[in-house]
Structure 1
Amino acid sequence: MSDFEKQAVRVAQFREMHRKGAGFVMPNPWDAGSARILAQAGFGALATTSAGCAVGAGFRDGVAAVSRAMILENAAAIVSAVDVPVSADLEDGFGASPEVCAETVRLAAGVGLAGGSIEDVTGGPDGGIYDLTQAVERVSAAAEAARDAGFVLTARCENYLNGRPDLADTISRLQAYGEAGAEVLYAPALPDMEAIQTLCSEVEQPVNVVMGLRGPFYSVAQLQDAGVARISVGGSMARAAYGALQRAAQEILVSGTFGYAEEAMPGAELMAAMRGDALDKRD
């Protein structure tokens, strides 16, 4: 099977997973190794995390420090490491214009991604949300490119992450993005279960909800009952890994002990999860 055929199969699998109330969990690896661990654990789809990508490269997330090229390179490494569909956090599309958003989708499909998300935040350190007309134009252009490329587009409304806790506006924006062609809708940081249920009932498209970003945290079963189609975890797994690293460092520095290693993944198990192909050459 060619790479093109494999991608088409993954896209079809990914699209089929999105059913209202399915509540499938799509965790967010930050590199190829973490992707292999999660895929082998049994998750049917994965998504990249811009926060994990940024921190892995030593940058802060959310200050436009990570380029489109870096995001796509990270995504390509994750795609090549696993056999399950991978969606990408494509941030704000890496440009204000609809044309740039469309080009970002085409490039994302070109590295083998099954889908990806575009935000309506204006980007940069000051945040801000695009006015509705421009936001819809951006989604419409990205959706057209997604249809041509065979790509599942997710449209994100960033109100609650940018000091605009307005559920009615969030819903109306997501409804407009759905009408513009987005297949999946996503509003990070909704405040409670009532808001999640309301959103799921007011839009036609499948809804993604993120857990692990900030509380309250709900179970998979609770989110399924609310009508959620997809559950992601953002950068929380990367933060969990860095938290373990921080605790290990503090144990050594403060106590002079190495007990952290007792909870570490056994080396043989970790190596067994990684690829075993021989490199063509070693320098």
Structure 2
Amino acid sequence: MAHSTPAPDRQAARDLVAHFSLEMTGKDVGALHAARDVIPPGTRINVTFLGNEDLQLRVDAAALVRRLGFVPVPHISARRLGSRRQLEEFLSRLQEVGAADSVFVVGGDPAEPEGPYADTLTVIRTGVLQQFGVRQVSVAGYPEGHPDISTDTLWRHLEDKTAELREQGLSAVILTQFAFDTDPVIDWIASVRARDIDSTIRIGTPGPAGIRRLLGFARRFGIGANATIVKKYGFSLGNLMGTAGPDRFVTDLSGRVAADPSAGDVKLHFYTFGGLLATSQWARDYVAAQS
């Protein structure tokens, strides 16, 4: 992993990394305890909705996030919900532990819905979210597209989701898939703003992790990772045994966002492939290097 070095625009780098968010699974409670002293108080921590985890595990993880002084953002996977009753039960349990204020609604992995919700918009349009205290909804963005969804469809869905949330009086955040290349990310941000969508954008960023692991996730999600792109990011396809951090990506992104006032409110969301502690330490050290 590369050591953090000062960015050309140190203030822009600090601004971009400030108020970053993290991601954990329901099984990462031990890792969260280990990282708690490195994560800034009030950090948003997303709790995933995976097929091999149950309701209790997800709720317990969200409750722990709040209890440790962070902001829980539980995921709701639309196609994994078997019924409206299951959605309401999950939201009710989250509300009981004070973790229903902010949620991330995503379509989810199953090719066929397990219940009545085919996508994020279907869940939002139920009107159920507000009934359980939800005030902010994060939705997905895909700077490099989606392997199974056309670009036109992705844009239409993003426009429809943000418009529906605005109509319902809910705050919207766009949380993106991770990337190794800032070029498509910058172009995508410009396209979002050109559509008069002014929501906060959280750019998905891989935390420091093993190179093989990073490439595995890239292949799974259709992320560009050819030799030119990964060299620009900071590692080589010829050496897969080491680790790589997002230093170059974050430094480049921060400068380019700062240079474009129309980019609006842009922050980072870390996918913690290498662990909560390693990612949180990286963010702390990177910010220190800009001071």
Q: TM-score, normalization: structure 1?
A: 0.56
Change (3 A) 1:42 1:235: closer
1:238 corresponds, among 275, 281, 286, to: 275
Find the partner of 2:153 among 132, 147, 169.
169
* Secondary structure, aligned partner of 2:275: helix
AA aligned to 1:210 is: G
Equivalent in the alignment of 1:115: 102
Distance in 2 between the 1:36 and 1:89 partners?
22
**Aligned match for 2:266, one of 226, 229, 241:** 229
Aligned to 1:185: 174
1:197 to 2:190 alignment: yes
- Where does residue 250 of structure 2 map in the other structure? 218
- Deviation of 1:109 after TM superposition, in Å, equals 2.8
TM-aligned CA deviation for residue 170 of structure 1? 1.9
- Aligned with 1:218: secondary structure? helix
Q: Larger relative contact order (C-alpha < 8 A, sep ≥ 6)?
A: 2
Structure 1 counterpart of 2:192, one-letter code: L
Which residue of 2 is the match for residue 154 of structure 1?
138
Note if contact 2:44-2:73 (Cα within 8 Å) is conserved in structure 1: yes
For the 8 Å contact 2:78–2:119, the answer to whether it is kept is no
Q: CA deviation at 1:118?
A: 1.2
Alignment of 1:44-63 (within 5 A): 44-50=42-48
Let me know the Cα RMSD of the aligned residues: 4.0
Distance change >3 Å, CA 239–CA 206, structure 1 → 2: closer
Q: Which runs of 5+ in 2 are unaligned?
A: 1-15, 207-213, 219-224, 226-232, 234-248, 280-291
Provide the residue aligned with 1:269 in structure 2.
none
Q: Which runs of 5+ in 1 are unaligned?
A: 1-20, 52-61, 243-283
Q: Following the alignment from structure 1 to structure 2, what is the Cα–Cα distance between the partners of residues 145 and 43? A: 26
State which of 28, 31, 35 in structure 1 corresponds to 2:29: 31
Deviation at 1:211, TM superposition (A): 0.4
Q: Of Structure 1 and Structure 2, which has the larger fraction of its residues in strand?
A: 2
% identical equivalent positions: 8
Deviations 1:51-101 (A, max 9, x none): 8xxxxxxxxxx6x21223222222222222x22322223334740555544
TM-score (norm 2): 0.55
Amino acid in structure 1 at the alignment position of 2:158: L
After superposition, residues 73-112 of structure 1 pair within 5 angstroms as: 73-80=60-67, 82-92=68-78, 94-95=80-81, 97=83, 100-112=86-98
> CA 1:132–1:159 in 2, change beyond 3 Å: closer, same or farther?
farther
**Contact 2:95–2:132 under 8 Å retained in 1:** no
- What is aligned with 2:209? none
Deviations 1:204-245 (A, max 9, x none): 322222101756633462475343433211233428859xxx
Give the number of equivalent residue pairs. Answer: 206
Question: Are the counterparts in 2 of residues 140 and 180 from structure 1 also a CA contact under 8 Å?
Answer: yes
Distance 1:158 1:97 in 2: 27
Aligned partners of 1:23 and 1:228 also within 8 Å: no
Partner Cα distance (1:172, 1:72) in 2: 32
For the residue of structure 2 that corresponds to 1:233, the secondary structure is strand
Q: 2: CA distance between counterparts of 1:174 and 1:35?
A: 35
Return the alpha-carbon distance in structure 2 between the equivalents of residues 131 and 173 of structure 1: 18
Q: Give the C-alpha shift of residue 133 in structure 1.
A: 7.9
1:124-135 mapped onto 2 (5 Å cutoff): 124=110, 126=111, 135=120
In the other structure, the counterpart of 1:247 is none
Instruction: Assess if the C-alpha contact under 8 Å between 1:136 and 1:176 holds in 2.
Output: yes
